[in-house]
Structure 1
Amino acid sequence: MSKQTYRVCLCFRRQFKLREGGPPVDIKELFSHYSENRVMTPEHLHRFMVEVQGDDKATKEEAEAAVDAIIKELKHHPIFHRRVLNLDAFFRYLFSDLNPPLPFPPKVMNDMEAPLSHYFVYTGHNSYLTGNQISSNCSVVPIIEALKRGVRVIELDMWPNSTKDDIDIVHGGTLTSPVKLNQCLEAIKTYAFVASEYPLILTLEDHLTPLLQAKVAKMVIETFGDVLYYSGSDTITEYPSPESLKKRIIVSTKPPKEYLDKTNSMEKNDEESSVKMKTSPDDDPWGVEICNPIEKHKSLNEDQVDESFQYEEETVKQNTELEYKQLIAIQARKLKGGVKDWLHDDPTAVMRISLRETRLEKAVENHATDVIRFTQRNLLRVFPKGSRVDSSNYNPLVGWCHGAQMVAFNMQTHGRFLWLMQGMFRANGGCGYVKKPDLLLKNGPDDKVFDPKIPLPVKKTLKVKVYMGDGWHLDFKRTHFDIYSPPDFYVKVGIAGVETDSVMKKTKIIQDDWTPKWEDEFQFPLTVPELALLRIEVHEYDKTEKDDFGGQTCLPVFELRTGIRAVPLHDHKGDKYNSVKLLMRFEFV
């Protein structure tokens, strides 16, 4: 046998050899401290849960249940004829789903009695698209998937169908194929509250004539029935609370009279309804949402448009006003002028305004506190710029740090920004609503408002220790990372938040190990922990090619449980792996 052949054989033998992933040194020491005669009773475990894990509200009954669960899992082992844990069983408990990094079981933690404007809301953009913004299919499938993940704002773009007698949901002015409005409404009705009982907001981009608006009103009322929420007034001074709106569907769009105003622009400023549209001369310079179907209607019947509009205005407007307008519980508004004008807080009414991401970035350069003050009572929706034809996303922290409630995302594509979005809405029991921190809701001394650009002193420091990982050999093929040898894993750990808090660090690389032990520790000083998200990614080092992806998660720091925790990892889409976890320790100092 040649030397070359011999080396290859050795490599294949390494591929299937798993090292023993026994407990780290810290775990062994803690077990020794909190056990007697090398066994841990439920009383011992309860003391560990309170003193080390920081679970002040943990009960002895919970400790007993945890011990029982581990014993049941290991009942074939002869030592478990009593209600006690040995070191390996204690280690298994720490690495189990019984010991997650966020509150368990998931539950709503926030006060839900405040107005809607006091919450970040899980928001989708062009929720009907299956792929890119130009040529992908429109379908109910992405709507259903978003609702299953807890998204609470669904967006539909409404256009006349080819025969002008029905409503299509389609990205106007593109090659995307339409889906019928009634199909979307039925899907929303079925899946609206499978993941959360808190209100679902339906934002409608309206490109319809009054005749079709009346048809929309009839379809919405017949589909949703008593679930539909009516505000009962054209103007309200404060939004109702999520608690008061449980199991209700709320419609948000512009009042129909704006679409009958012939002086308005034909274009929708936001580059959203069609990436090939050019901005009209009277388009709002700040990118506030503008849309008007008048010119679209002209193209449908150019020679008879004046007669058509006169007929519609005379015979349909009243019906539309009585039905369609009454559906609109959250009114979207188009405001003219500069940023100071549309951010003026009207004490007599609240409203929703939409800005594309680039316009928000421009607005907060010199008017950050005005934006935040506006969002204390009113709703601000942010959406991707029109050049994101690949349905990519942007940094949601820009919107959140300035109080924007509806940071609208393309949910059908994946990447780090979507991981941040998923991480934020793992908070508050995954209900799709997260209470904004007090610093975004209150004015400080001398009417000062929080400004994310002004550095603040460190409020607390998060200490993170990455002990080890396990589960890849169960969820991945043995040859997934490397054909000839076990993987070389490392972990990236960091913070996404205000600019001064944002940072990424990484562990050393552990070579040739399916159960790597790093035992690396990091510290993250936080000036605004209320807006901080803990980013965690695992990669497999590759000398010659791009490093392979080994899992990720993002956790809201403001709900992080201290102590030693089993952190489940997710794939690119955000779906949790069956087995892959990291064992980590979190402390605040």
Structure 2
Amino acid sequence: MTTYRVCFFFRRQYRAASGQAPEAIQEVFGQYSEGGVMREQELRRFMKEVQGEARAGVNDAIKESKYLKELQKKGLSVDEFYHYLFSDDNAAHPSSPGVYQDMTAPLSHYFIYTGHNSYLTGNQLSSDCSDVPIIKALRSGVRVIELDLWPNETNNNVNVLHGRTLTSPIKLIKCLRSIKEHAFEASPYPVIITLEDHLTPNLQAKAAKMLTKTFGNILYTPTSESLEVFPSPEELKMRIMISTKPPKEYLESKTTMTSPTTSHKVPTICDRLFYPITKLFIKEKEHEGQNVDEEEWSEEVSDHEAITNDHELNEHYQEEDPEEGDGKSPIEYKRLIAIAAKKMQGDLTEALKIDPHKATRLSLSELALEKAASSHGTELIRFTQRNLLRIFPKGTRVTSSNYKPLLGWMHGAQMVALNMQGYGQPLWLLHGMFKANGGCGYVKKPDILLNDNPDQLFDPKATLLPMKTLKVRVYTGDGWRFDYHKSHFDTFSPPDFYARVGIAGVPVDTTMKQTKIIEDCWTPVWDEEFEFKLTVPELALLRIEVFEHDVSDQDDFAGQTCLPVWELRTGIRSVSLCDRKGQTLKSVKLLMRFDFIFH
């Protein structure tokens, strides 16, 4: 019997990528050119009437690029004009616009780029602790670094790790040296180190020596025991600040939680892994059932505190190690604390009372913030006008996932701390917020959050009228053909791209809209316009995402970015897209138009 094999051959066919300007751009060019050429006078008119740059000269508009030389030599053709629009010179949000906001107000008047568990390389339970993510965060502009301090196995040195988990430790001194080396690479404005302190008094004294020796005169130490008003970012340039609970308060909070019946056994690996998760899930279930006692308002609901063995910790404080330290109480350690973290006492109303003689910091978990925002919204905003509020992820985010940061920002929280180890929409929003003000890590809070008139305190739940409308027109996109392999999105055909555009802000402003799908094309032309009514434009971020439609599977990610609405350059602009982790792609850009209508 003869066996025949039948072979099928498929030839991939790709439509040639077109560099031709879309019809809408050709129409604009026709309005501002003569005889198919745009000269200096026409470009100046275009810059004034479309781009809203009446005061900018032509040289300012296109700088020292090749387009300026072409313009001066023979004028721009439609293709040259189109390529100029796509260039970085014409970006919707320049990468380095410089710091322009007032930096002389107290720290409490600024949103601050904040990381959570900054030393972890991955998940919250078993990843390595390292200075590498700390360095990466500082280089990207993060200004608040968190370190969890624990005694080493022999109780004679200080480690940084996520306590009672399987995370491997790193020595504190290595973290401090890396912070000093990289603190001001991205920004000259102050770096704040928040310490989660689980040390004995002797080790606190040792940590103080490490801090003073490593940072020297760049370490900011207050002249009095507590600050009445926080200094400004301008005053604190090139300085490092320490923020934690004063030693006495930390000891009191731990001893009051100690149970005389707590077991003395050394925790096993299983204990270390499953005890914290079990305890945290119980807390969350209680929260969902609204049967939560007042302790959940406190900092002890954090993953740091919930996973602490209270009896074991109290033993640390009672131990004396004759071979370490000088036997003195950690007075020097307390003196180094520039921003004292507030000990939670009583309910939230009590915690949010303002002491006119002391500026402090309070921490709330994301769950506690949700409850506080519902019942104490305006009190949160009043508190954050003088004091710092730090928000941190709930402890069950063991994969280093994140919560949405807008709820914290709209209630004035300066330190909305996110896990930097992963990626996703919350991190994209964080990156977008801190593109503002030159990417210096400090963004001035809008006046609505700083108005201390009791009758005019901002209420995020209030029904407000739109202040302006943002019109967004999505023309086209290009660059995927350079950054991705031909078969990356579809094996046998070009990709089918669509764009999503929307607003992240106060609830009434938050929305997302989508273009049509353009099939089989590496340079999709959508030419669609959307309108977004904004009641609080000062807190609005423009979200832009592109996906490749897949009929049989989940749509493929093709780029994203978030831009501060208040810093958008109007007119026809290029928008560079980033990958999932927030790194700018080499070539992928959209061409869009932005216009504001004021009400």
Give the alignment's TM-score, normalised by structure 1. Answer: 0.91
| Superposition deviation, residue 29 in structure 1 | 2.2
AA matched with 1:239: F
Residue by residue over 1:1-27, the C-alpha shift from the partner in whole angstroms, topping out at 9 and shown as x without a partner, is x99947x33xx1x23x32424212232
Distance in 2, Cα, partners of 1:566 & 1:314: 62
Secondary structure at 1:284 match in 2: helix
Per the alignment, residue 568 of structure 1 pairs with 576
Match of 1:527 among 535, 543, 561: 535
Q: Is the 8 A contact 1:174 1:275 kept in 2?
A: no
The equivalent residue for 2:256 is 264
- Partners of 2:519 and 2:384 in 1: CA distance: 49
Is 2:324 aligned against 1:316? Answer: no
Report the residue type matching 1:236 in the other structure.
Answer: L
User: Is it true that 1:221 corresponds to 2:212 in the alignment?
Assistant: yes
Shift of 1:105: 3.8
- Deviation (angstroms), 1:366: 1.4
1:256 Cα deviation from its structure 2 partner: 1.2
CA contact (8 A) 2:202 2:327 kept: no
Question: Which residue in the other structure is 2:421 paired with?
Answer: 412
Distance 1:295 1:569 in 2: 51
Deviation at 1:263, TM superposition (A): 4.0
- CA, structure 1 residues 424+81, in 2 after alignment: closer, same or farther (shift >3 Å)? closer
Aligned to 2:165: 174
Q: State how far apart, in whole Å, the 2-side matches of 1:564 and 1:435 are.
A: 27
Q: Tell me which of 335, 342, 346 is aligned to 2:344.
A: 335
Matching of residues 85-164 of structure 1 within 5 Å? 85-103=76-94, 105-164=96-155
Answering whether residue 296 of structure 2 is matched by residue 285 of structure 1, we say yes
Structure 1 counterpart of 2:488:
480
Q: Which residue of 1 aligns with 2:66?
A: 69
Tell me the distance in 2 between the aligned counterparts of 1:105 and 1:381. Answer: 28
1:431 paired residue number: 440
Q: Which amino acid aligns with 1:52?
A: V
Report the 3-state secondary structure (helix = DSSP H, G, I; strand = E; otherwise coil) of the residue aligned with 1:315: coil
Aligned equivalent of 2:561: 553
Cα pair 2:473 2:530 within 8 Å, conserved: yes
Are 2:504 and 2:541, in contact at CA under 8 Å, matched by a contact in 1?
yes
Pairs aligned (count): 564
Cα distance in 1 between the residues matched to 2:319 and 2:592: 70
Paired residue for 2:287? Answer: none
Displacement, 1:346? Answer: 1.0
Asked if 1:539 corresponds to 2:530, the answer is no
1: CA distance between counterparts of 2:313 and 2:474? 60
Q: 1:306 to 1:582 in 2, by over 3 A?
A: closer
Contact 2:200 2:319 in 1 (8 A): no
Is the alpha carbon distance of 1:490 and 1:160 closer, same or farther for their aligned partners in structure 2, counting shifts above 3 Å? same
**Equivalent position to 1:326, from 335, 340, 351:** 335
Q: Residue 185 of structure 2 aligns to a residue in which SS?
A: coil
Matched, 1:516 2:524: yes
Q: Deviations over 1:381-403 (max 9, x none)?
A: 00000111111000100100100
Distance in 2 of aligned mates of 1:563 and 1:416: 27
**Alignment partner, residue 188 of structure 2:** 197
Q: Distance in 2 between matches of 1:423 and 1:22?
A: 31
Query: In structure 1, what is the equivalent of residue 311 of structure 2?
Result: 295
How many Å separate the matches in 1 of 2:419 and 2:31?
49
Ranges in structure 2 where 5+ consecutive residues have no aligned partner? 260-272, 284-291
Give distance in 2, aligned partners of 1:81 and 1:164.
72
8 Å CA contact 2:226, 2:359 repeated in 1: yes
2-side partners of 1:46 and 1:264: how far apart? 71
State how far apart, in whole Å, the 2-side matches of 1:483 and 1:64 are: 40
Q: CA deviation at 1:298?
A: 5.0
1:209/1:293 contact within 8 Å kept? no
Alpha-carbon deviations, 1:304-353, whole Å to 9, x = none? x7574999999311xx21x1111110000112111110011111111000
> What is the match of residue 371 of structure 2?
362
User: Structure 1 residues 230, 171: CA separation in 2 closer, same or farther (over 3 Å shift)?
Assistant: same
- Residue 275 of structure 1 deviates from its aligned partner by 4.5
Counterparts of residues 445-524 of structure 1 (less than 5 Å): 447-524=455-532
Alpha-carbon distance in structure 1 between the residues aligned to 2:33 and 2:140: 41
**CA distance, structure 2, for counterparts of residue 347 and residue 579 of structure 1:** 52
Distance 1:568 1:90, change over 3 A: same
Contact 2:255–2:314 (8 Å) recurs in 1: no
- Does residue 23 (structure 1) correspond to residue 21 (structure 2)? The answer is yes
**Structure 2 counterpart of 1:392, one-letter code:** S
- The 10-residue stretch of structure 1 (306-315 or 352-361) with the greater mean CA deviation from structure 2: 306-315
SS at match of 1:224: helix
Distance in 2, Cα, partners of 1:294 & 1:425: 38
Residue aligned with 2:30, SS: helix
Query: How high is the sequence identity, in percent, across the aligned residues?
Result: 55
| Deviation at residue 42 of structure 1 after TM alignment | 3.2
Partner residue of 1:400 out of 396, 405, 409 = 409
1:446-472 alpha-carbon deviations (Å, 9 max, x no partner): 523111111200110000000000000
Cα distance, 1:264 vs. partner?
3.0
| Corresponding position of 2:265 | none
Structural mapping, 1:341-380, within 5 Å:
341-380=350-389
Cα distance change, pair 264–57 in 1 and its aligned pair in 2 (3 A): farther
AA paired with 1:96?
Answer: S
Deviations 1:395-451 (A, max 9, x none): 10010010000000000110011100100001111111111111011035x523111
Per-residue CA distance 1:35-90 (angstroms, 9 max, x = gap):
23322223432332222111244123324635x42367xxxxxx889152111111
Structure 1 CA distance for aligned equivalents of residues 589 and 94 of structure 2: 17
CA distance in 2, matches of 1:370, 1:298: 34
Q: What is the CA distance between 1:529 and its match in structure 2? A: 0.6
Q: Distance in 2 between matches of 1:312 and 1:165?
A: 6
Amino acid at match of 1:136: S
Q: Distance in 1 between matches of 2:462 and 2:61?
A: 45
Change (3 A) 1:542 1:124: same
Unpaired stretches in structure 1, ≥5 consecutive residues: 73-78
